[in-house]
């Protein structure tokens, strides 16, 4: 991977890394206030944003907004397998080793998140659900995985990958 | 503007921190990333640092050109767990030579707090955290290159110590050259598993199970009072060694973050020690400036024997290693008293002059790197570590191991009349080495 350029301009609105950290801060506030339903939703966003920050740092070319593009680079018809939510995002990364240009580096950092499959029962649609239907007992697993994601981002930041 | 290379970047960054106008200097640190690029890192929330200072740092960072990671000056706000990042044991007080002025006069040395994120080699700077834990004395045998008689010396040491009644545990870290310990353990007598197996099985949670099956008794110790127990790199008749070696250095996910190779090797040594209860441990380190050598010398050794032969070229590598430590004084202070230089393959002809030159070179190397600098015209005060050139117990004072054709393709199982060696011949070549090691062991008891 070549080194990232200095201060890109103009600044695109999507920045997954600070978004991941912001969601974490807010999730912890909600968790401490026992607002578990939305805390749980945010822990999922932490992981989603953290992983997307990593794959872009590992060579996935972002669109003009700074996000994962709508379609795969080699085909305008096929939807980009990384422009999805959890838990599909994690399974698509595991299923297709060609998705990330610098797969070796991505693997190294994903190894810092051994609990990433804790989100198997997390859904983006939970935001529409009745509170008593949510798998809220999973929140501790989600929280643990979100913390690993943040530690991974801290490591990548020190290493100059982010 | 002059092109900035790796060699310049840290010096430029350190120089910019000397500016008298820079506020809260003690809060400003440096992080060097895996590409060698730098960023300033404020050990405080960004809002607590004066804006003028921040602007100054941003400008200094931009001036590093390709050696600035990004425009961002890091702070507690850059990380989710700043306590973990800024409290990491990988931060080192680091001395940076500032170069020379236009007239060639040296500009002195600056001290910075540096977090050096590396791809490999991090273990050269990782002394063990729990220094107090009781364990048998560990001797590490290291050479910058192979072919200097390191493994032969290690085997003879094991044998001689066993003759004196000690229980010796030998661990082979030279995974890239398995089988070098064949002198002590013919392959068909080896244990079922080797060190490389432990690294793989431990990664899937089965390290504990194979531990009792990775140590074998050396046939040499059948006639000695003490025992020689050998943990070889490779198990007996391994059908797939390279497939294992290529995976052995992987980091393994652990509860508190990934377990790195260095930590895992330390764990393995500690468990082998707990199982075998040896009086002394001998580790055959991999040659060269490799990660495994870093783990064994910085992380494990109570005494590291550094094998060298004469000639300027044999000092170049050691000088690089020593000055690397020298620039991290905390690490240097931990390591330096554990080192002993071995003059390997000392020839018989012209011996006195050769030994004198070697001793002089070794002393100069240590004086200029790892020993404390002496105030001009004074002997070492008690607080300074700077043994005299003739101090026979000092790290630089060479242990002589003789060159003797007999030991080149030596089989210790043979009797002297069939090509083996007499006790007098062994004493002649390895006597000094054994005596120095025994006196280190006695030092532990004192």
- At residue A25, the pLDDT reads 96
Min Cα distance A159 → chain B (Å) is: 4
The mean predicted confidence, pLDDT, of chain B is 90
Nearest chain A residue to B30, by CA: A158
Cβ separation A3–B117 shorter than 8 A: no
Residue found under tokens 């020839």? B347
What confidence tier does A5 reach under pLDDT thresholds 50, 70, 90? low
HSE of A97, CA atoms in CB hemisphere, 13 A: 3
B306: phi then psi, degrees, rounded to nearest 5: -100, 110
Nearest chain B residue to A109, by CA: B258
Cβ separation A158–B81 shorter than 8 A: no
What is the tens place of the pLDDT at every residue in A34-78?
999 999 999 999 999 999 999 999 999 999 999 999 988 777 778
- At residue A2, the pLDDT reads 53
ipTM: 0.84
Residue B117: pLDDT over 70: yes
Distances (CA, A) of A121 to A20, A52, A150, B129: 20, 19, 20, 40
Cβ separation A157–B253 shorter than 8 A: no
Averaged pLDDT, B136-154:
92
Q: Which residues contact B396 (CB under 8 A, 6 or more apart)?
A: B341, B359, B362, B363, B365, B366, B367, B387, B389
Cβ separation A160–B78 shorter than 8 A: no
- At residue B379, the pLDDT reads 65
Min Cα distance B264 → chain A (Å) is: 16
CB B38 within 8 A of CB B32: yes
What confidence tier does B132 reach under pLDDT thresholds 50, 70, 90? low
Averaged pLDDT, B285-298:
89
Residue found under tokens 């044991």? B89
The two three-digit tokens of residue A21, written as one number: 């950290």
Averaged pLDDT, A122-129:
96
Candidate from B34, B39, B80 with C-beta closest to A154: B80
- At residue B1, the pLDDT reads 64
Nearest chain A residue to B68, by CA: A6
Among A7-11, A87-91, B76-80, whose mean pLDDT is lowest?
Answer: A7-11
Nearest chain B residue to A111, by CA: B253
**Residue A40: closest CA among A142, A120, A116, A132:** A142
Candidate from B33, B84, B257 with C-beta closest to A159: B33
Candidate from A7, A151, A159 with C-beta closest to B71: A7
Cβ separation B80–A150 shorter than 8 A: yes
Averaged pLDDT, B416-438:
87
**Residue B194: closest CA among B166, B164, B230:** B230
What is the tens place of the pLDDT at every residue in B164-223?
999 999 999 999 988 767 778 888 889 999 999 999 999 888 999 999 999 999 998 888
- At residue A3, the pLDDT reads 60
HSE of B85, CA atoms in CB hemisphere, 13 A: 27
Residues 134-153 of A with CB under 8 A from B: 150-151, 153
Percent of chain A with pLDDT over 90: 72
Helix (H, G, I), strand (E, B) or coil at B95: strand
- At residue B257, the pLDDT reads 72
Q: If DSSP states are collapsed to H, E and C, what string results for B293-362?
A: HHHHHHHHCCEEEEEECCCCHHHHHHHHHHHHHHCCHHHHHHHHHHEEEEEEEECCCCHHHHHHHHHHHH
- At residue B284, the pLDDT reads 94
Nearest chain A residue to B34, by CA: A159
Cβ separation A154–B85 shorter than 8 A: yes
Instruction: Tell me which chain A residues have a C-beta less than 8 angstroms from the C-beta of B81.
Output: 150-151, 154
Nearest chain A residue to B252, by CA: A111
What is the tens place of the pLDDT at every residue in B302-329?
999 999 998 777 799 999 999 999 999 9
- At residue A4, the pLDDT reads 60
Candidate from B31, B80, B251 with C-beta closest to A158: B31
Domains of chain B: 6-119 (no CATH), 130-445 (3.40.50.300)
Residue B446: pLDDT over 60: no
Distance of alpha carbon B170 from alpha carbon B272, whole angstroms: 10
What is the tens place of the pLDDT at every residue in B75-88?
999 999 999 999 99
Q: If DSSP states are collapsed to H, E and C, what string results for B204-241?
A: CCCHHHHHHHCCEECHHHHCCCCCEEEECCCCCCCCCH
The two three-digit tokens of residue B310, written as one number: 């004469």
Instruction: Tell me which chain A residues have a C-beta less than 8 angstroms from the C-beta of B71.
Output: 6-7
CB B71 within 8 A of CB A7: yes
Instruction: Tell me which chain B residues have a C-beta less than 8 angstroms from the C-beta of A28.
Output: none
B429: phi then psi, degrees, rounded to nearest 5: -85, -40
What is the tens place of the pLDDT at every residue in B348-395?
889 999 999 999 999 999 999 999 988 776 666 677 899 999 999 999
What is the tens place of the pLDDT at every residue in B1-44?
689 999 899 999 999 999 999 999 999 999 999 999 999 999 99
Instruction: Tell me which chain A residues have a C-beta less than 8 angstroms from the C-beta of B70.
Output: 4, 6-7
Among B82-86, B330-334, B408-412, whose mean pLDDT is lowest?
Answer: B408-412
Percent of chain B with pLDDT over 70: 96
CA dihedral B104, B109, B112, B116 (to 10 degrees): 70
Min Cα distance B201 → chain A (Å) is: 18
Q: Beta strand B228-231 with B280-284: parallel, antiparallel or unpaired? A: unpaired
A32 in contact with B, Cβ within 8 Å: no
Distance of alpha carbon B193 from alpha carbon B183, whole angstroms: 18
**Residue B252: closest CA among B240, B241, B263:** B263
Cβ separation A111–B69 shorter than 8 A: no
DSSP 8-state secondary structure symbol assigned to residue B109: E
Averaged pLDDT, B44-58:
97
Candidate from B69, B257, B258 with C-beta closest to A160: B69
Residue A1: pLDDT over 60: no
A1 in contact with B, Cβ within 8 Å: no
Instruction: Tell me which chain B residues have a C-beta less than 8 angstroms from the C-beta of A151.
Output: 80-81, 84, 257
Cβ–Cβ pairs < 8 A, chains A and B = 54
What is the tens place of the pLDDT at every residue in B53-71?
999 999 999 999 999 999 9
**Residue A55: closest CA among A113, A12, A129:** A113
Averaged pLDDT, A90-116:
86
pTM reported for the whole predicted model: 0.85
The mean predicted confidence, pLDDT, of chain A is 91
Q: Which residues pair with B114 in a beta bridge?
A: B30, B92
Instruction: Tell me which chain B residues have a C-beta less than 8 angstroms from the C-beta of A153.
Output: 80
Averaged pLDDT, B100-126:
90
Candidate from B66, B85, B253 with C-beta closest to A158: B85
B31: phi then psi, degrees, rounded to nearest 5: -115, 125
Among A95-99, B266-270, B358-362, whose mean pLDDT is lowest?
Answer: A95-99
Candidate from B34, B35, B253 with C-beta closest to A111: B253
Residue B131: pLDDT over 60: no
Q: How many residues are recorded in chain B?
A: 446
């Amino acid at each position: 991977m070549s080194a990232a350029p200095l201060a890109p301009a103009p600044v695109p609105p999507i920045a997954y890394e600070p978004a991941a950290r912001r969601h974490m801060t807010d999730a912890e506030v909600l968790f401490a206030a026992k607002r578990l339903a939305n805390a749980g939703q945010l822990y999922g966003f932490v992981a989603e944003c953290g992983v997307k920050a990593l794959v872009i740092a590992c060579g996935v070319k972002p669109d003009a907004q700074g996000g994962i593009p709508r379609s795969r680079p080699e085909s305008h018809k096929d939807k980009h397998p990384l422009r999805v939510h959890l838990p599909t995002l994690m399974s698509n990364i595991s299923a297709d080793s060609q998705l990330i240009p610098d797969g070796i580096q991505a693997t190294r950092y994903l190894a810092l998140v051994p609990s990433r499959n804790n989100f198997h029962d997390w859904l983006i649609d939970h935001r529409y659900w009745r509170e008593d239907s949510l798998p809220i007992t999973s929140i501790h697993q989600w929280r643990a995985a979100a913390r690993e994601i943040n530690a991974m981002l801290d490591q990548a930041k020190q290493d100059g990958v982010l | 503007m002059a092109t900035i290379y790796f060699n310049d970047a840290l010096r430029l960054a350190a120089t910019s921190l000397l500016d008298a106008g820079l506020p809260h200097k003690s809060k400003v640190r440096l992080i060097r990333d895996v590409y060698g690029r730098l960023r300033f890192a404020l050990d405080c929330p960004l809002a607590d640092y004066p804006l003028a200072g921040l602007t100054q740092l941003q400008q200094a960072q931009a001036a590093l050109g390709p050696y600035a990671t990004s425009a961002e000056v890091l702070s507690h706000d850059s990380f989710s767990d700043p306590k973990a990042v800024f409290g990491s044991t990988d931060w080192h007080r680091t001395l940076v030579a500032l170069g020379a002025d236009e007239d060639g006069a040296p500009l002195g040395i600056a001290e910075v707090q540096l977090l050096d994120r590396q791809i490999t080699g991090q273990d050269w700077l990782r002394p063990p955290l729990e220094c107090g834990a009781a364990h048998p004395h560990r001797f590490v045998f290291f050479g910058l290159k192979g072919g200097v008689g390191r493994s032969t010396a290690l085997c003879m040491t094991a044998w001689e110590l066993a003759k004196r009644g000690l229980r010796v545990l030998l661990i082979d870290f030279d995974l890239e050259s398995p089988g070098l310990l064949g002198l002590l353990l013919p392959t068909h007598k080896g244990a079922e598993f080797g060190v490389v197996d432990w690294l793989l099985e431990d990664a899937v949670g089965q390290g504990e199970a194979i531990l009792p099956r990775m140590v074998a008794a050396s046939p040499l110790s059948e006639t000695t009072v003490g025992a020689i127990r050998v943990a070889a790199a490779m198990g007996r008749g391994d059908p797939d060694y390279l497939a294992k070696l290529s995976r052995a250095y992987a980091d393994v996910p652990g509860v508190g973050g990934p377990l790195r190779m260095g930590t895992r090797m330390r764990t393995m040594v500690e468990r082998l020690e707990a199982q075998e209860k040896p009086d002394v441990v001998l580790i055959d380190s991999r040659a060269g400036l490799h990660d495994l050598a870093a783990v064994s010398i910085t992380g494990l050794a109570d005494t590291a024997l550094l094998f060298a032969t004469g000639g300027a070229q044999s000092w170049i590598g050691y000088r690089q290693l020593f000055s690397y430590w020298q620039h991290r004084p905390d690490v240097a202070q931990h390591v330096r008293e554990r080192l002993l230089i071995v003059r390997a393959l000392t020839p018989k002809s012209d011996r006195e002059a050769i030994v004198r030159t070697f001793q002089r070179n070794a002393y100069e190397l240590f004086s200029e790197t790892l020993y404390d600098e002496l105030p001009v015209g004074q002997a070492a005060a008690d607080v300074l570590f700077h043994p005299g050139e003739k101090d026979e117990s000092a790290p630089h004072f060479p242990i002589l191991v003789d060159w003797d054709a007999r030991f080149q393709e030596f089989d210790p199982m043979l009797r002297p009349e069939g090509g083996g060696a007499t006790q007098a011949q062994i004493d002649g070549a390895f006597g000094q080495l054994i005596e120095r090691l025994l006196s280190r062991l006695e030092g532990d008891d004192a």
